[in-house]
Structure 1
Amino acid sequence: MLALTRRVGERIVIADNIVVTVVSIKGENIRVTIEAPKEIKIYRGEIYDAIAEENRQAAVPDDVIVLDMFKGLPKEM
């Protein structure tokens, strides 16, 4: 991880084609702009985490979910 200190108007350049610019700072809030090629997806962290969780849940086969319902039942009836 790289931690940088920037002032308003200063930029960070990533891999020659992504530019992050500090636009404003108000209290604990920092506003940035991100210039990147359209094919690069950019998400806020909480949105990315929600998408990743939905993908994990969608990857679990339905039959595994049904079998999990029987885990708490006694082995012999």
Structure 2
Amino acid sequence: MLIITRKKGESLMIGDDIEIVVSKIDDGSVKIGIKAPKDVTILRKEIYEEVKNENREASKIDISILDRIRKK
């Protein structure tokens, strides 16, 4: 993991087209802005993990259900 110190208004670049900007610093929290191409998906990690877990659960199917559908 790379740790970088930034002040309000400063930014960092990821590749050539993603910029992370520190917009506000308060007691124990930091607001950041992200400038990225529209085709780049940006999610908070907790949302990303929730979607990943839901996808994993949705992919678990009961094969016997498919057999019953075929028999109809």
TM-score, normalising length from structure 2?
A: 0.84
- Count matched residues: 64
Query: In the alignment, is residue 12 of structure 1 matched against residue 12 of structure 2?
Result: yes
Structure 2 partner of 1:74: none
Query: In the alignment, is residue 59 of structure 1 matched against residue 51 of structure 2?
Result: no
Cα distance between partner residues in 2 of 1:12 and 1:59? 37
Amino acid of the residue matched to residue 37 of structure 2? P
1:32 Cα offset (Å): 0.3
Greater shift in the superposed pair: 28-37 or 55-64: 55-64
Partner SS for 1:54: helix
1:63 Cα offset (Å): 3.5
Indicate the structure (1 or 2) with the bigger Cα radius of gyration: 1
Identity of aligned residues (%): 39
1:47 Cα offset (Å): 0.5
Unaligned ranges ≥5, structure 2: 65-72
Amino acid of the residue matched to residue 54 of structure 2? E
Unaligned ranges ≥5, structure 1: 65-77
Moved over 6 A (4+): none
Cα distance between partner residues in 2 of 1:43 and 1:62? 31
